[in-house]
């Protein structure tokens, strides 16, 4: 029997001045969702079922940028995307442009299990969701007051803004920061870290049979063009799983896409014989060029690894031997 392990993330690139109460809130959400996965694995659940269940929990909580609480397009609407991959046979499913499906990761799972395709988008994805009987809601369900305020800030700054849940009372301050030099020198996607936060969510799991799976879900960029597709639904970029490992990425989507970051972790293990953490470190250091991102990964032998080249990543992990942690910084 293999040893099970699980890793989750809620986004890479965290403002070092993030208020303490917001840090604690993030940790509570991560711990609760991590426990969902741990309980399922202890009960003998399969890796694929666990990553779907955990990401559903993350999508339902408005703290992170997925499902309810997703970032808004220029038009003030939500367009979500998600992917899931089973390391057994490298089966996969992905969706983009989803606007009414309550849990996009479950739609991605159905694309994999119940359709002849690997990827559906926009009207086709929505139609398939209804055919399969998935729960759908009005687009307004996903929109929060904080995100409406953040979209206003993004439009005023005339830029794309990674959704960060900054309290509305702080918008004027953030707007001023966006127009000035970043005090700590950290910039992601052309924006000061003080108003950057991707908060994409993801989960990577190896079960007690040694099977790996991964899933990723996001609302994308605040103030993005309608129709924009990031790395999260792209197999090999934002999500990847095979017989060796499972990986979920977060950060600057365009950089992750260019580097096929998730697949590269598996490739370094496969072709160079590297261990999991060595492969993660290599890809984060060597494959992102000037981009900023992070990732979580598990191996078929029950190892857990993560890496990021920016200021922090919301994350958590647990292993069968009883180790469990939730963290943000190094």
User: Which are the catalytic amino acids?
Assistant: 200
Are 82 and 217 in contact, with CB atoms under 8 Å apart? yes
Pair of tokens at residue 258: 């260019």
- Angular region, 248: left φ>0, alpha ψ -120 to 50, beta rest: beta
Distance CA 47, CA 30 (A): 18
DSSP 320: T
CA dihedral for 7, 87, 2, 44, sign (positive or negative): positive
Query: What residues are paired with 251 via a beta bridge?
Result: 293
Pair of tokens at residue 37: 């996965």
Could you identify the residue written with the tokens 């200021």? 311
Distance CA 90, CA 240 (A): 8
Pair of tokens at residue 2: 């293999």
Pair of tokens at residue 24: 């604690």
Helix (H, G, I), strand (E, B) or coil at 285: helix
Distance CA 78, CA 107 (A): 16
Are 282 and 274 in contact, with CB atoms under 8 Å apart? yes
């Amino acid at each position: 029997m293999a040893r099970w392990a699980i890793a989750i993330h809620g986004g890479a690139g965290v403002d070092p001045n993030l208020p303490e109460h917001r840090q604690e809130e993030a940790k509570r959400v991560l711990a609760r969702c991590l426990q969902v996965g741990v309980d399922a694995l202890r009960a003998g659940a399969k890796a694929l079922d666990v990553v779907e269940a955990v990401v559903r929990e993350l999508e339902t909580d408005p703290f992170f940028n997925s499902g309810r609480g997703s970032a808004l397009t220029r038009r003030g609407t939500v367009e979500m995307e998600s992917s899931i991959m089973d390391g057994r046979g490298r089966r996969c499913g992905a969706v983009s442009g989803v606007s009414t499906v309550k849990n996009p990761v479950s739609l991605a799972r159905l694309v994999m299990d119940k359709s002849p395709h690997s990827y559906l988008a926009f009207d086709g994805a929505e139609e398939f969701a209804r055919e399969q009987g998935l729960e759908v809601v009005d687009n307004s369900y996903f929109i929060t007051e904080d995100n409406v305020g953040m979209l206003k800030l993004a439009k005023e700054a005339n830029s794309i803004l990674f959704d960060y849940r900054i309290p509305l009372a702080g918008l004027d301050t953030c707007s001023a920061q966006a127009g000035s030099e970043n005090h700590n020198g950290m910039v992601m996607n052309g924006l000061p870290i003080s108003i950057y936060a991707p908060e994409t969510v993801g989960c990577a799991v190896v079960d007690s049979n040694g099977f790996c799976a991964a899933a990723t879900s996001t609302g994308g960029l605040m103030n993005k063009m309608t129709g924009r597709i990031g790395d999260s639904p792209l197999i090999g970029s934002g999500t990847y799983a095979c017989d060796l490992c499972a990986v979920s990425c977060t950060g600057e989507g365009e950089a992750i896409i260019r580097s096929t970051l998730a697949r590269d972790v598996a490739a370094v293990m496969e072709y160079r014989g590297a261990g999991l953490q060595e492969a993660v470190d290599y890809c984060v250091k060597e494959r992102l060029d000037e981009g900023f991102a992070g990732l979580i990964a598990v191996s078929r032998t029950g190892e857990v690894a993560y890496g990021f080249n920016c200021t922090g990543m919301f994350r958590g992990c647990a292993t069968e031997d009883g180790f469990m942690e939730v963290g943000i910084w190094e």
